[in-house]
């Protein structure tokens, strides 16, 4: 069956309230024929009820009652569509300043970030903030959508100027792959159909870029990391001595017969079998969920990690982290928090707040150490037990962690290990 | 050498990860089994996640008493086959105990009453995590649902106070008395589900395939003729080839004229369909925010 060659691409969209982000997504869904009749009818009725001209495609992506009333998106919403080439998951996040946390959440799993710019306004504070968050979260690919070109007479000079401006500030960021596309989401220019109004633009449409951006190297296939998630022990006659370590490969490629090292003990063993419901497989790579069986009878448990002897993560209790804070209650210096990292559950104390980062200017503020909701800061923590970590830049799975308030159990911060 | 998974394998790996995370983080999880294709998929994935051990939690079916008989037959055969433990929560019992009052009239449905029976079954079993087969593409309120969805002690969902979910890290920490709803197949679409069930050759209830049935037309949707639905005088019963795209109880599940006799036919039908699958669900049509309102009260 031909759908077996489809790849999955996750992207996030960021833009200010008025950049036309919802219209762009609506356009993408509508022109790629992912909208059903009843959804379209519902939106058409609402548009008419409100007395709007034409069909407001932005309504397709408005989810909850509160935001339909206010006309703004207030949380991450996930949308789906597919073409014969790829299946897409959109993490649609709001662009207002107070919702940095949602943007960070949406960005955490994305392969691609779409950043919307209103061609009339060029690069504004929010553009810088979105680009910075994309780089902080290490989204591998950026697509800069220069929207509302219809309102600047589809002029190439406008596009060129914004492109140069973006390049001038993004050199400070850690972004590798950037594409620029001039478009009009309202009229559909360069979204799914090539624009007849911008013949000067030779690049592909947005959908073409999404279908063709190379995502084959987005996972780490070098550093072998297997956090033990769950131990499978059937206790049946047939599988009497079966002890399988279930988990999802967080990095590298594991093969049967590989010599491996077990953390935290440092013991070594050999992979006897990589098991799945369909039977044994020869190798496992990120992001597969498999079950590893070892030659030797060590008693591993959840939170342990299987790695290669000659390529180990840092085993440490003292960790430097860039944190994005999510809670109304500011980050407490010397405060204690629960931490989840891979499949480990530990506690930590905040030893130092190094600086707060101004995400508009990238200025490091070492004086103001009050870290409030939506702030980004570099901090140092000490954990109750060693974690097995890699730099976030090297591996998004073993380089990320979350902070949990021990009183309320809420997730209060997202951390990227330096 | 290139290492890549196709979209179905990647979705499978994600769902298996979530299922194992539930088994590891919670003391007493339960899998909500409705007999619909999504809960069949979830059960199939759970079987894979813990192989060669059995699924380490029971299945819970909330029986409205207004089921298609095919659903119950399928359920019992499947439970037998995979050696799972089945628990049944009954809406009829909730009515008999006076916990809820049955709706009356032409549009009477036990769909709303399910919420009470469900919350009661969860409380009786002291379950701290209930796995559901909801998908984010189904309905606009579900587009914002988390994998791990926190519920307070009343079983309520507060859309404004959901925990952010980053990377593959799921925070299942809770106070005593609270519980979670967990949705391992959040990222699957209707088409993904069918494609995967076809590839995996999973057996499905006969209701999903075209069959001859007595139906009548109401508000543009065909409903199965059943003693549980009161027909209006002008509603005429006719016999035609139909199938279900979703399976709820008889009172709120529309059927579609269809000739799709195999799962391959269904894939073709779904990929060219011009109406959403819940388009046939009378329970969603009550108001524009029907699903959001029910979810807040603790619906699936």
Average pLDDT of adjacent 10-residue blocks, chain A of 418 residues: 78 77 83 71 74 68 53 69 89 71 88 93 87 92 95 96 91 87 93 94 94 88 96 90 96 96 96 96 95 94 96 97 94 96 97 92 90 94 98 96 95 96
CB < 8 Å & 24+ apart, contacts of B144-147: B144/A63, B144/A64, B144/A75, B144/A76, B144/A77, B144/A78, B145/B183, B145/B186, B145/B295, B146/B183, B146/B186, B147/B18, B147/B182, B147/B183, B147/B184, B147/B186
> What's the confidence (pLDDT) of residue A72?
47
Residue A256: inside a domain: yes
Determine contact, residues A339/A405, Cβ cutoff 8 Å: no
Task: Quote the CA–CA distance of A156 and A201 in Å, as a whole number.
Answer: 8
CA distances for A247 relative to A230, A281, A408, B5, angstroms: 7, 15, 28, 17
Cβ <8 Å between B160 and A87: no
3-state class of B17 per DSSP? helix
Q: Tell whether B186 and B249 lie within a shared domain.
A: no
- Min distance B152 CA to chain A CA atoms (Å): 12
Size of interface A-B (CB pairs under 8 A): 179
Residue B199: inside a domain: no
| Domain stops at, among A257, A285, A307 | A307
Determine contact, residues A105/A76, Cβ cutoff 8 Å: yes
Task: Quote the CA–CA distance of B6 and A418 in Å, as a whole number.
Answer: 32
Kindly report, residue by residue over B107-160, the tens digit of the pLDDT. 666 666 677 778 888 888 999 999 999 998 887 667 778 899 988 777 677 766
Domain encompassing residue B259: 204-283
DSSP letters for A358-386: -TTT--EESS-----TT-EEEEEEEEEEE
Domain encompassing residue A378: 314-417
CA angle A405/A406/A410 to nearest 5° reads: 40
> Which of B13, B189, B195 has its CB closest to that of A288?
B13
Q: Tell whether A329 and A301 lie within a shared domain.
A: no
> What's the confidence (pLDDT) of residue B28?
95
Q: Tell whether A258 and A205 lie within a shared domain.
A: no
Q: Tell whether A404 and A327 lie within a shared domain.
A: yes
Task: Quote the CA–CA distance of B28 and B22 in Å, as a whole number.
Answer: 9
Q: Tell whether B164 and B44 lie within a shared domain.
A: yes
> Which of A4, A76, A234 has its CB closest to that of B144?
A76
Residue B219: inside a domain: yes
What count of other Cβ atoms lies within 10 Å of the Cβ of residue B184? 27
Task: Quote the CA–CA distance of A309 and B212 in Å, as a whole number.
Answer: 63
Task: Quote the CA–CA distance of B205 and B71 in Å, as a whole number.
Answer: 7
> Which of B3, B10, B16 has its CB closest to that of A221?
B3
What count of other Cβ atoms lies within 10 Å of the Cβ of residue A198? 20
| Domain stops at, among A153, A178, A212 | A212
Chain B CB within 8 Å of residue A7 CB: yes
Dig out the tokens for A25 from the structure: 């997504």
> What's the confidence (pLDDT) of residue B100?
67
**Res B285 pLDDT > 60:** no
pLDDT band at B1 (very low <50, low <70, confident <90, very high): very low
Q: Tell whether B85 and B146 lie within a shared domain.
A: yes
Cβ <8 Å between A396 and B8: no
Residue A21: inside a domain: yes
Chain A CA closest to residue B198: A1
Q: Tell whether A47 and A62 lie within a shared domain.
A: yes
SS (H, E, C) A273-292: EEECCCCCCCEEECCCEEEE
**Phi-psi category of A334—alpha, beta or left, where left has phi over 0 and alpha has psi -120 to 50?**
left
CATH code at A399? 2.40.30.10
Task: Quote the CA–CA distance of B42 and B48 in Å, as a whole number.
Answer: 10
Farthest CA pair distance, chain B: 68
CATH code at B123? 3.40.50.620
Task: Quote the CA–CA distance of A371 and A353 in Å, as a whole number.
Answer: 9
Q: Which of A80, A387, A401, A407 to mutate to test the interface with B (most CBs of B within 10 A)?
A: A80
């Amino acid at each position: 069956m031909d759908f077996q060659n489809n790849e999955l691409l996750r992207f996030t969209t960021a833009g200010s309230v008025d950049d036309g982000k919802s219209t762009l997504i609506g356009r993408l869904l509508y022109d790629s024929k992912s909208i059903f009749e009843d959804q379209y009818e519902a939106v058409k009725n609402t548009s008419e009820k409100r007395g709007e001209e034409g069909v407001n495609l932005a309504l397709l992506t408005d989810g909850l009652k509160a935001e339909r009333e206010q006309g703004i998106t207030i949380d991450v919403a996930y949308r789906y569509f597919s073409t014969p080439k790829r299946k897409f998951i959109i993490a649609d996040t709001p662009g207002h300043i107070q919702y940095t946390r949602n943007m960070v959440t949406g960005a955490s799993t994305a392969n691609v970030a779409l950043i919307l710019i209103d061609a009339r306004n060029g690069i504004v504070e929010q553009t810088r903030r979105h680009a910075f968050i994309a780089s902080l979260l290490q989204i591998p690919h950026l697509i800069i959508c220069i929207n509302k070109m219809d309102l600047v007479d589809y002029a190439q000079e406008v596009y060129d100027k914004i492109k140069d401006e973006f390049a001038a500030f993004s050199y400070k960021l850690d972004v590798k792959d950037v594409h620029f596309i001039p478009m009009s989401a309202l009229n559909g220019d360069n979204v799914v159909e090539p624009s007849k109004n911008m013949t000067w633009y030779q690049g592909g449409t947005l959908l073409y870029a999404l279908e063709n951006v190379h995502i084959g190297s987005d996972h780490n296939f070098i550093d072998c990391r297997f956090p033990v998630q769950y131990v499978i022990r059937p206790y049946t006659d047939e599988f009497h001595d079966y002890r399988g370590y279930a988990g999802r490969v967080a990095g590298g490629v594991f093969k049967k017969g590989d010599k491996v090292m077990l953390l935290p003990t440092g013991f070594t063993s050999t992979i006897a079998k990589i098991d799945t419901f369909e039977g044994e497989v020869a190798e496992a790579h990120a992001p597969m969920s498999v079950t590893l069986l070892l030659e030797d009878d060590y008693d591993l448990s959840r939170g342990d990690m299987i790695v290669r002897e000659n390529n180990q993560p840092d085993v440490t209790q003292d960790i430097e982290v860039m944190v994005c804070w999510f809670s109304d209650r500011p980050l407490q210096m010397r405060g204690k928090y629960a931490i989840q990292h891979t499949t480990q559950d530990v506690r930590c104390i905040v030893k130092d707040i190094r600086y707060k980062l101004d995400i508009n200017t990238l200025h490091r503020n070492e004086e103001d150490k009050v870290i409030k909701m939506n702030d980004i800061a570099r901090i140092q923590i000490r954990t109750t037990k060693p974690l097995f970590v890699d730099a976030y830049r090297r591996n998004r799975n073993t380089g990320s962690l979350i902070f949990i308030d021990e009183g309320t159990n809420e997730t209060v911060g997202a951390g990227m290990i330096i | 050498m290139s290492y890549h998974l196709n979209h179905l394998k990647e979705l499978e790996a994600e769902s298996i990860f979530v299922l194992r995370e539930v088994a590891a983080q919670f003391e007493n999880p339960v899998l909500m089994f409705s007999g619909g294709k999504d809960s069949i998929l979830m059960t199939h994935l759970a079987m894979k996640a813990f192989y060669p051990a059995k699924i380490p939690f029971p299945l819970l079916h909330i029986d409205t008493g207004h089921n298609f008989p095919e659903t119950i037959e399928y359920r019992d055969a499947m439970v037998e086959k995979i050696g799972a433990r089945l628990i049944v929560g009954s809406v009829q019992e909730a009515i008999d105990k006076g916990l809820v009052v049955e709706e009356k009239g032409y549009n009477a449905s036990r769909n709303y009453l399910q919420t009470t029976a469900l919350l009661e079954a969860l409380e009786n079993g002291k379950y701290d995590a209930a796995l559901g087969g909801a998908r984010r593409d189904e309905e606009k309120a579900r587009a914002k649902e988390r994998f791990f969805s926190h519920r307070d002690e009343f079983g309520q969902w507060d859309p404004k106070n959901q925990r952010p979910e980053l990377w593959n890290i799921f925070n299942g920490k809770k106070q005593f008395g609270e519980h979670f709803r967990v949705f391992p197949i959040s990222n699957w679409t209707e088409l993904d589900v069918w494609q995967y069930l076809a590839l995996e050759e999973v057996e499905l209830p006969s209701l999903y395939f075209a069959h001859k049935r007595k139906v009548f037309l109401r508000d543009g949707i065909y409903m199965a003729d059943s003693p549980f639905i009161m027909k209006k005088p002008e509603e005429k019963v006719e016999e035609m080839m139909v199938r279900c795209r979703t399976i709820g109880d008889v009172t709120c599940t529309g059927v579609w004229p269809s000739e799709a006799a195999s799962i391959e036919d269904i894939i073709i039908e779904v990929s060219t369909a011009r109406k959403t699958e819940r388009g046939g669900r009378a329970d969603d049509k009550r108001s524009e925010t029907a699903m959001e309102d029910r979810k807040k009260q603790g619906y699936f």
